[in-house]
Amino acid sequence: MGPCRLLLCPYDVLYLSIQLPRWSMSTFSVRDPRVARLARKLARLRGSTMTEAVITALENDLKRERDSMPLADRYAEIAADLAAKAGPNGREVTKDDIDAMWGQ
C-alpha cells in the first residue's frame, strides 16, 4: 500500500487519505465525525496514532471475516489464489518434488 495520510480538519471530522498502489490510481477518504471519534479513542487506548489504529482495526476485521468463513471455502480461496499464481503453465507437484523440498 502507498503512503497514508491522516488529516484532522474543522468540525472534528477524520480525513483518512490512503494512496493505493500506482495501478489503481485512487484514494480512499472517510469524512465522518463518528469515525474520527472512534479512531481517536482507539488510538488513545492503544497508544498509537489514529492512522495506525484505523489500519489495525481494518486488518483485524478482515481477519475476523476471513476466519468466520467455513474452512472448505477458505481452502478453496487459497487453492484458487495459488492456481492463479501458477498461471497457465502450472503443474502438479509430484512426490519426488516434495521429497526434494524436504531433502530426502
C-alpha cell of residue 31: 469524512
- Report yes or no: 46 and 60 within 8 Å, Cβ to Cβ: no
Closest listed residue to residue 9, CA positions, set 47, 27, 35: 35
Find all residues with CB under 8 Å of 45, minimum gap 6, and list them.
Answer: none
Angstrom distance (rounded) from CA 69 to CA 10: 40
User: Quick check: is 37 in a domain?
Assistant: yes
Angle, vertex CA 77, rays to CA 73 and CA 82, nearest 5: 145
pLDDT of residue 20: 55
- pLDDT for 69 equals 84
Distance CA 95, CA 6 (A): 51
Transcribe 32-59 into DSSP letters. BHHHHHHHHHHHHHHTS-HHHHHHHHHH
Tell me the residue range of the domain where 62 lies: 4-87
State the pLDDT at residue 28. Answer: 67
* In a domain? residue 19: yes
CB atoms within 10 A of CB 53: 21
Q: What is the pLDDT of residue 44?
A: 94
Name the domain count of the chain. 1
Could you tell me if residue 101 is inside a domain?
Answer: no
Q: Per-10-residue mean pLDDT for the chain, 104 residues long?
A: 47 53 60 88 92 90 88 88 83 87 86
Question: Is residue 17 assigned to a domain?
Answer: yes
